[in-house]
Structure 1
Amino acid sequence: MRAIAEFSMRSRVRAVLLTMVGIPLISPAVLALVGLRRGSSDGLFVLVWAVLPVVAAAGAGYMSPLMSGLAITHFVGVLAGALVLRATRAWSWALIALVVATSLGILLTSQISGGILTSLLEAASEATAGADTEQLRQVFNSETQATGYLSWVSVITATLALVLGRWWQAMLYNPGGLQQEIHNLRMPLPVAAVGMVLWIFCLVSEHFVFWGAVVAFPMLVAGIGLIHWMVARKGWGRGPLIALYVMLVIAALPLAGFLCGLALIDSWIDIRARTGNKA
């Protein structure tokens, strides 16, 4: 991993090559690293070259509007988060920027592709001769639900790429910096309060349930960051963190509610400051 980061930082051309090959997680993380280290000029330069093959493939008919839109949205969301993180040095605003940019990209993709649900149904019908179409209709019964789901997935993958890019930057230039940032991650109280209200509102409607997860995502990450800080402060090792991520897979909704609630409380009373152990 270090070799990839060092290779991409030697020149813009090398960074462009790594992003153009389209390696999942790695390519967008390289874009994040460039944006974090060198700023908007180099970041936008690499972004343009990264999406060039996608645009060319879509124009030639080798890639559907849905897939090309998802790819471009992913890169744009990662770079938006990286540039905001570079400017503000605050993960809270970086996550908000990433969520907004990614969600807008998915909505725009829906318009360009003629509807994400329609595109998914057509792709499933072509791939399986219609066998999975009915199952897909049962999972997504509205365009709002489909766009929300893809936004949620895109936000998660874009965040992972941004975290990897920031980890590379910390490894090369600021050892331990990422850990300190995650431990201090705390959402502004107005943002946390509005996010919680919107999430609860979305939970009561099946059409907006995934959009609720998108809105609550920054708070979820803030809650995870607080748990990381607490575990480090207590010296409990990695066991509790492994259990946390396993439980996020097994019982995602109840644990997400707990973490978002914890993030809201932290935004209100600043748990770290009250304990006198702010990292």
Structure 2
Amino acid sequence: MRAIAEFAMRSRVRAVILTLVGIPLISPAVLALVGLRRGSSDGLFVLAWAILPLVAAAGYMSPLMAGLAITHFVGVLAGALVLRATRAWSWALVALTIVSALGILVTSQAAGGVLETLTQAINEAAGGADTPEAQQLSQAFASEVQATGYLTWVSVISAVLALLLGRWWQSLLYNPGGLQQEMHALRMPLPLAAAGMLLWVYCLVNEHFVFWGAVAAFPMMVAGICLVHWLVARKGWGRGPLIAMYITLVIAALPLAGFLCGLALIDSWIDIRARSSDNR
């Protein structure tokens, strides 16, 4: 992985080549690394080349797929540039989430809606529309709002993972250990935390907006995860609690997400790390 980062940093042309290859996670992470290290000029240059094939293939590619890919790249670069400018993961996560949401909404309008395409993909993956699995999954996307919310949620998660990988590469090459310090210190500003929590609670009571609630709460959830990482590292508990947390996120996402968001809100209010330091 280090070799990929070193190759990309040698020139803009090499970075463009890696983004044009279109490797999931790797290509957008290269774009994030360029934006983080070299700023908006090189970042926008690589972005333009990354999306050029998507624009050129507009007549042969569905607007939905092209829009999703473009949104992914733009969201990753937006997060990287905000992180470079502010050195604050909280604002980078918010910027990435907003840009991704706007991109999906524009894509949905340009594609004439995403529900039909998403339902068709689910049916094909499940082996037919009449299978119990397909019917169960289709019920989760009963409206266009749910479908766009789900795609936005997936887009935000994948974009954050790409940004994390890009920042890890930057830390590996130029600032060993820097990413861990940043993530352990991640704390959402109280107004953003309160707004995210209110939006999430509002969306929870409306089934059509459940996924949009997950999108609004995602920066909060990341902050909660980072706080748990800090606590585990401070107490020297090893990797066991972290493994258990991620397994629980897979099998019982909603309850744990609520706990993590609540933890992040409390941290935004009272600054758990500072209080812990004062009590040492």
Normalised to the residue count of structure 2, the TM-score between the two structures is 0.94
Residue pair 2:122, 2:138 contacting (<8 A) in 1 also: no
**Could you say which residue in structure 2 is the equivalent of 1:95?**
93
| Conservation of the 8 A alpha-carbon contact between 1:65 and 1:109 | yes
Question: CA 1:13 to 1:236, structure 2 compared with 1: closer, same or farther past 3 Å?
Answer: same
Write the mapping of 1:255-274 to structure 2, written as runs, cut at 5 A.
255-274=256-275
Post-superposition CA distance 1:168-212 (Å, at most 9, x none) = 000000000000000000000011011111101100111000000
The CA distance in 2 between the partners of 1:79 and 1:151, in whole Å, is 16
The answer for the alignment partner of 1:114 in structure 2 is: 112
2:55 corresponds to: 55
Supply the distance in 2 between the matched residues of 1:125 and 1:230 (Cα, whole angstroms): 43
Distance 1:9 1:207, change over 3 A: same
List per-residue Cα deviations over 1:124-157 (Å, max 9, x = no partner).
Answer: 6788776577665423111000000000000000
> Partners in 2 of 1:274 and 1:125 — Cα distance?
52
Q: Which residue of 2 aligns with 1:191?
A: 192
The equivalent residue for 1:83 is 81
Indicate the SS of the match to 2:57: helix
- 2:50 is the counterpart of 1:28: no
> Within 1, Cα distance between the matches of 2:159 and 2:96?
8
Alpha-carbon distance in 2 for matches of 1:140, 1:167: 35
Determine the structure 2 residue equivalent to 1:177: 178
Which deviations, in whole Å up to 9, do the C-alpha atoms of 1:200-240 show, x marking residues without a partner? 11001110000000000000000000001001101111111
- AA paired with 1:96? V
Which amino acid letter does the alignment assign opposite residue 67 of structure 1? M
Structure 1, residues 50-88: CA drift from partner, whole Å, max 9, x if none? 0111112223x1x21111100000000000000000000
Q: CA RMSD in A?
A: 1.8
Confirm or deny: 8 A CA contact 1:113 1:119 kept in the other structure.
no
Relative to 1, partners in 2 of residues 1:79 and 1:117: Cα closer, same or farther, differing over 3 Å? same
- Distance of aligned partners of 1:151 and 1:8 in 2 relative to their CA distance in 1, 3 Å threshold: same
1:35/1:225 CA distance change after superposition, 3 Å: same
**Separation in structure 1 between the aligned mates of residue 111 and residue 77 of structure 2, nearest angstrom:** 23
What is the aligned partner in structure 1 of residue 16 from structure 2?
16
5 Å-filtered alignment, 1:93-172, equals 93-121=91-119, 137-172=138-173
* Contact 1:35–1:82 (Cα < 8 Å) also in 2: yes
* Aligned residues of 1:170 and 1:178 also touching (Cα < 8 A): yes
Q: Distance in 2 between matches of 1:124 and 1:114?
A: 18
Contact 1:29–1:161, Cα closer than 8 Å, also in 2: yes
5+ residue gaps in structure 2? none
Distance in structure 2 (CA, Å) of the matches to 1:129 and 1:201: 34
Stretch of structure 1 that moved more, 213-222 or 231-240:
231-240
* Aligned sequence identity (%): 78
Unaligned 5+ segments in structure 1 are none
- In structure 2, what is the equivalent of residue 4 of structure 1? 4
The CA distance in 1 between the partners of 2:135 and 2:260, in whole Å, is: 35
Partner AA of 2:113 in structure 1:
G
Matched, 1:221 2:219: no
